[in-house]
């Protein structure tokens, strides 16, 4: 009986202390010192920079080292992105977080709340190396990108239409088969996004393949088993059904009434995806408002300055207060929010 109690205690203790740590280096001479961590709920938005995805921000030190840590992430695998850029703060509202920030560098990876991730080299080398992680699935996207680089080399060897057609057929199957060997549905979604992109040359092969290949239903089953009730699975199922409706329509198997149903279904899919994303954002916003409600008006003002990484002296000068008064407000904030440091306080408001 004592052994069982001890075992339960150890398990509970390990869960309570579980936290993630994502660290690495940037080139301080090339990139801005701000480093961002995002969670990618919409797999069609893996490429680019989107403000609604950002959950944390940190600052690299003089050597370029940065680290994200805490315990606010999901305990199941999710898709995350770390990115740096050269956009100044005054331009962020104009051309920074619009999904097309070309002046940025990003790394996609798979992780969960208990993972440790280290990026051993600078961002410019990441796409062709492995990161160090206790999660064996963390490198899945890097492996796929390496294979896609081989694919681009094959296309460039002979720039003829005949070579392009042969490579389209070959690499479509190669990427699809490679995704299955990774034994990770999220990695397969990364490949699916690439193969089914309407602007890609491979899209025509995807449409033909969708007609008679049970791979797509098998992927749906793998997603439902590994990631039930997630936005990834809901989005994939909606897209798959929509593409099949479109395929039937293009083959002359539908009538005008079914066209109306198709467009209604597409609209409903967009609305549902938007609803889930909005609800996720709303829940986080509500939590933040509840936390701030615990503080006095003056403490809320001091908190805003703390979240901007201002020193006690800077806060005192901005608010015309003494440094000791700022320290008193800071200690009250820590006590009311049940945190021990600035980093702990920031983690509550950056999810």
What 8-state DSSP symbol labels residue 295? Answer: S
- C-alpha to C-alpha distances, 157 to 145, 153, 167, 168, 248, nearest whole angstrom: 19, 6, 11, 14, 37
Task: Report residue 351's pLDDT band, with 50, 70 and 90 as the boundaries.
Answer: low
- pLDDT tens for 140-179 read 998 998 888 888 777 666 566 666 777 777 888 899 999 9
Question: Of 4-18, 121-135, 209-223, 318-332, which gets the smallest average pLDDT?
Answer: 4-18
- pLDDT tens for 254-299 read 455 566 777 777 777 777 776 666 656 555 566 667 667 778 888 8
Beta bridge partners of 236: none
Given a cut of 70, whether residue 125 has pLDDT beyond it is no
Task: Report residue 188's pLDDT band, with 50, 70 and 90 as the boundaries.
Answer: very high
- C-alpha to C-alpha distances, 71 to 51, 115, 205, 344, nearest whole angstrom: 21, 10, 43, 10
Give all domains of the chain, ordered by start, each with its CATH number: 2-138 (2.60.40), 144-281 (no CATH), 294-349 (1.10.10.10)
Are 69 and 22 contacting, i.e. CB atoms less than 8 angstroms apart?
Answer: yes
Q: What's the pLDDT at 33?
A: 85
Q: Give the DSSP per-residue string, 77-134.
A: -EEEEEEEE---GGGIIIIISSS---SEEEEEEEE-TT-EEEE-S-GGGGGGSPPEES
Are 87 and 101 contacting, i.e. CB atoms less than 8 angstroms apart?
Answer: yes
The residue among 331 and 337 whose pLDDT is bigger is 331
pTM of the model: 0.64
């Amino acid at each position: 009986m004592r052994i069982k109690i001890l075992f339960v205690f150890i398990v509970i203790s390990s869960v309570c202390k579980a936290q993630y740590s994502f660290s690495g280096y940037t080139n301080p001479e090339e990139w801005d010192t701000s480093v961002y961590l995002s969670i990618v709920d919409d797999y069609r938005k893996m490429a680019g920079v989107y403000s609604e995805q950002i959950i944390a921000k940190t600052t690299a030190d003089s050597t370029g080292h940065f680290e994200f840590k805490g315990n606010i992430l999901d305990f199941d695998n999710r898709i995350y992105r770390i990115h740096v850029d050269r956009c100044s703060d005054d331009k962020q509202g104009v051309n920074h977080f619009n999904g097309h920030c070309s002046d940025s560098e990003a790394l996609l990876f798979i992780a969960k709340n208990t993972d440790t991730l280290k990026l051993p080299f600078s961002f410019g080398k990441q796409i062709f190396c492995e990161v160090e992680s206790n999660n064996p699935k963390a490198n899945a996207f890097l492996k796929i990108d390496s294979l896609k680089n081989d694919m681009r080399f094959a296309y460039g060897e002979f720039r003829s239409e005949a070579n392009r057609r042969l490579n389209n057929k070959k690499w479509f199957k190669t990427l699809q088969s490679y995704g299955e060997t990774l034994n990770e549905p999220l990695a397969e979604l990364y490949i699916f996004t690439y193969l089914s992109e309407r602007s890609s040359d491979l899209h025509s092969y995807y449409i033909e393949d969708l007609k008679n290949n049970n791979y797509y239903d098998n992927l749906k089953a793998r997603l439902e088993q590994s990631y039930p009730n997630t936005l990834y699975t809901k989005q994939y199922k909606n897209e798959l059904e929509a593409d099949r409706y479109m395929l039937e329509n293009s083959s002359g198997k539908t009538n005008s009434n079914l066209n109306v149903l198709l467009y209604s279904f597409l609209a409903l899919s967009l609305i549902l995806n938007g609803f889930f994303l909005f609800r996720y954002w709303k829940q986080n916003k509500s939590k933040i408002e509840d936390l701030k409600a615990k503080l006095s008006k003056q403490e809320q003002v001091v908190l805003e300055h703390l979240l901007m990484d201002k020193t006690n002296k800077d806060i005192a000068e901005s608010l015309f207060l003494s440094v000791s008064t700022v320290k008193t407000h800071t200690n009250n904030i820590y006590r009311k929010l049940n945190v021990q440091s600035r980093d702990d306080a920031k983690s509550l408001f950056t999810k």
